[in-house]
Amino acid sequence: MKIQRNILLNPGPATTTDTVKLAQLVPDICPREKEFAELLSALRQDLLKIVHGDPEKYTCVLFCGSGTLNMDVCLNSLLPADKKILIINNGTYSSRGVEICQYYNLPFIEMRLPFDEIVDFAELEKLLQENPDIYLVYTTHQETVSGLLNPIREIGALVHKYQGILVVDTTSTYALLPLDIEQDNIDFCMASAQKGIQAMTGLSYIIGSIAEIEASRHYPKRSYYCNLYLQYDFFKKNGEMHFTPPVQTIYAAKQALQEYFAEGETAKYHRHLRVHETILANLARLGFKTILPKEKQAGLVAAVKYPDDENWDFFKIHDYCYQRGFTIYPGRIAATNSFRLCSLGAIDVIDIENFFVVFEAALRYYQVSLPIRYN
């Protein structure tokens, strides 16, 4: 079977290998069979291994849904009755965390920062000192719209000093940047199969502290489908997901994990970095500017400012590239229009070089001046 290979430069779902796509074609199976439970068990262990979690201390809980489900589950499940959440917010995804707190009416404090600034540690410490009722501190590892990297290890150290837990949205860094759950001071992290592991949408996972999940058994239950303890407990007793899992997506994830470990954490990380470097070099050659300076970027997303050129029309450029197998993605940051070129997925330098041939042709076709003009 020949499947057209599209290069997705959007922030997930990412380009997958054919072997991962084809792994979904399996004989029909009832997911309550022992064979399937064994598959889930191996999958959970492998997902834990990616962040080097000690299985005595950490576990992986699977859910059926996209990445936002993990954020919902962690925020609604891990807050004791008389405690507060602190959200360190410097981007779109942490703002989504704020909205989840609002929807559940959870008590929270928002530490709002500009999209290009990381937290000031002295200010964070002061806030934690003055608010001893903060228990759950939440932030996003990489803000996927801007590409900003947050210093989670340092944040986690402070959170632990004040007896809190750190929940990090690692959806766009898990299996992309090397992570060590314990050394990085993470109590809970999360991801979704369509991002770092280069598999299919529909399977999401939360990896975190067994002791904290056990403790959450007595916390208020604010959701039925999206409760972490209930799902964890079902896995513990039955080795399965509480409700119907995304069967074929799970077979694809299994294949993707085999490919992840065959490539290796470091080699994969370096592949993403060289893809990102190639993107930055080509953008600079054409005169494009990124929203963030290089040293603030995680090295996985280039957020690019729209040119000040009357012939620039993102959607026309997008369509030109899309018809030729390359997908680029718009995004607004503060008041600035931008588009994104992301380095996740089963792609390498050659794909980026091929993309820039098409992208440059699109710019010339629509008579956007080169080098790119900014006022």
- Beta-bridged to residue 329, according to DSSP, are 340
Instruction: Name the residue nearer to ligand PLP (CB basis): 12 or 156.
Output: 12
Q: Mask of contacts with ligand PLP, 115-154, x by CB under 6 A?
A: -------------------------x---x----------
Instruction: Compute the least distance from the CB of residue 238 to ligand PLP, in Å.
Output: 26
68 belongs to the binding site for ligand PLP (CB under 6 A): yes
Task: Considering only residues 345 through 374, tell me which ones interact with ligand PLP, judged by CB under 6 A.
Answer: none
Judged by CB under 6 A, how many residues of this single chain contact ligand PLP?
A: 13
Eight-state DSSP code of residue 373: P
Q: What is the DSSP letter of 294?
A: G
245 preceded by a cis bond (ω within 30 of 0): no
**Bridge partners of residue 110, in order along the sequence:** 87
SS3 206: strand
Binding span for ligand PLP by CB under 6 A among 111-119, 166-174, 273-281, 338-346: 166-174
> What is the rounded distance in angstroms from the CA atom of residue 79 to the CA atom of residue 219?
7
Can you tell me the distance from the alpha carbon of 356 to that of 286, in angstroms, rounded to the nearest whole number? 10
Binding mask 70-109 for ligand PLP (x = CB under 6 A): -----------------------x----------------
Q: State which of residues 8, 9, 11, 176 lies at the interface with ligand PLP (CB under 6 A).
A: 11
Q: Which of 31, 155, 143 is nearest to 86 (CA)?
A: 155
Q: How far is the CB of 203 from ligand PLP (least distance, A)?
A: 11
Residue 265 in tokens: 């954490």
The interface region with ligand PLP, picked from 44-52, 167-175, 287-295, 346-354 by CB under 6 A, is 167-175
CB 165 within 8 A of CB 78: yes
**CA-CA-CA-CA dihedral for 214, 219, 223, 228, to nearest 10:** -20
**Residue 10 sits in the site that holds ligand PLP (CB under 6 A):** no
Contact 372, 322 (CB under 8 A): no
Closer CB to ligand PLP, 164 or 331, in the complex: 331
CB of 179 to ligand PLP, least distance (A): 14
By the rule CB under 6 A, 282 interacts with ligand PLP:
no
Query: Residue 119 carries which DSSP code?
Result: P
Q: Which residues have a Cβ under 8 Å from the Cβ of 288 and sit 6 or more positions away?
A: 304, 305, 307, 372
Residue nearest to ligand PLP (CB): 67
Residues that bind ligand PLP (CB under 6 A): 11-12, 66-68, 93, 140, 144, 169, 171-172, 192, 195
